[in-house]
Structure 1
Amino acid sequence: MKYSIDEVSRAVSSASRRRLLEHVARGPATMSALADHLDLSLPAVDKHLKVLGSAGLVTKTKTGRVTQITLDPRGLDAMATWVERTRAHWAGAMQRYTDHLEDR
């Protein structure tokens, strides 16, 4: 699966979805447990999980009537790589600007 930084950004732009990710980062959770923990309805949890799943951040495994949600951090790895490259670029640009000002 190719991880789209745009989809990951959209997925983590919601506080509810970030809280869902934080919860499943501690270990797999059922949809009911997520709904109870975050005080959301099951349809709201399902809606958020679809966005997170489309971004490649979580996986769902259904056994009978129970759906387990597991974190898939590979989408976050793609985002972290982009953030680090961007941070390095701007840190370098700011250092060059500072050096330029000091040379004056």
Structure 2
Amino acid sequence: MPHAYILRCRDDTYYVGSTRDLDARLWQHNHSEDGATYTRRRRPVTLIWNAEFDSIEQAFAFEKRIAGWRREKKEALMRGDFDALPELSRRRSVRENGG
């Protein structure tokens, strides 16, 4: 089953990825040289969010969509606060000025 996922790294940063086999990929991130370079330097990593998709293409597209989000928007997604996502999509200056 294809997944998009978010990992918390040892340095408290987030890593966003997608895969066909979540368990195997998580193992790679923590133990293998096949894990992403970003996570290899920040082990151990912990899975903190994932979602299933019908195809790897959908999972990959969602990965790319959320990878560019700011930390606070990723955290809203992880806690299921979907109502906060539109507001967090606005530039900080617009939010602070009430626009």
- Normalising to structure 2: TM-score of the pair? 0.32
Q: Which has more helix, going by share of residues? A: 1
Q: Which has more strand, going by share of residues? A: 2
- Normalising to structure 1: TM-score of the pair? 0.31
CA radius of gyration, larger in: 1
